[in-house]
Amino acid sequence: MNRLNFIELRNVYFGYKKGKPIINNLSLIIRKDEVTTILGPNGSGKTTLGKLMMGILKPINGQVYISNEDISERTLAQIGSKIGYLFQNPEKHFFCNTVEEELGFVLRFKGFSEAYLMERVEGLLKLLQLEDVRKSSPLLLSQGEKQRLAIATILVNNPEYLILDEPTTGLDVERKKILIELLKELIEKGIGMTIISHDHFFVEELSHRVIKIHRGEIIHDQRI
């Protein structure tokens, strides 16, 4: 595999019992050096595809590879050390009592020093404009604040790739611009991304490749 071909799906099929397939014999190679956007109507399989790429869902048939390794042989934690996944509902990322505890939890668990932990947390609080809510419960934040905190919890791990499911949910125009600039900085640092989004302004600002799916199949794939 080309070293830039980071994620590969080979003849992937996924569906639930007694239902139509959600992903139907789909093959796809995602490069690490570009931003790929996945578009499609509700129910087209976009979110399911993202979860299959991450290993949250397992295909019924077919294989998914990350860096040329079959992810069926890897735990979700091992995959998570390479890929950060933003859920459509940001509250799925939260389980601590305050914003700053949320950001420091993983680093503390991994045994990083308190000095490094505080420096990293302070940087993310400032970057995502969450300093004023650092002592607040994540569940009591506004929708936009929840979304920014969810993104921060991903970035704290320094992933080499991001899968973002509707990342602009709850963000106003100014916050979208801030997020775009942040993601552009990450792209310049070599972090690849797949974005699942209906936000055309956001997509146009960041995308190198646009893939459209319908009924679990790719109907359009173009680099722009």
pLDDT digits (tens, 9 = 90+) for 39-88: 998 889 999 999 999 999 999 999 999 999 999 989 998 898 899 999 98
* 103 φ/ψ angles, rounded to the nearest 5 degrees: -75, -30
Residue 174, pLDDT score: 84
User: What is d(CA 151, CA 36) in angstroms, rounded to the nearest whole number?
Assistant: 18
Residue range 131-160, pLDDT digits in tens: 999 999 999 998 888 988 998 999 888 889
Residue 2, pLDDT score: 64
Residue range 104-134, pLDDT digits in tens: 998 888 888 999 999 999 999 998 889 999 9
pLDDT above 80 (res 170)? no
Q: pTM of the entire structure?
A: 0.89
Q: What is the largest CA-CA distance in the chain?
A: 54
Q: Which residues contact 115 (CB under 8 A, 6 or more apart)?
A: none
20 neighbors 14 (Cβ within 8 angstroms): no
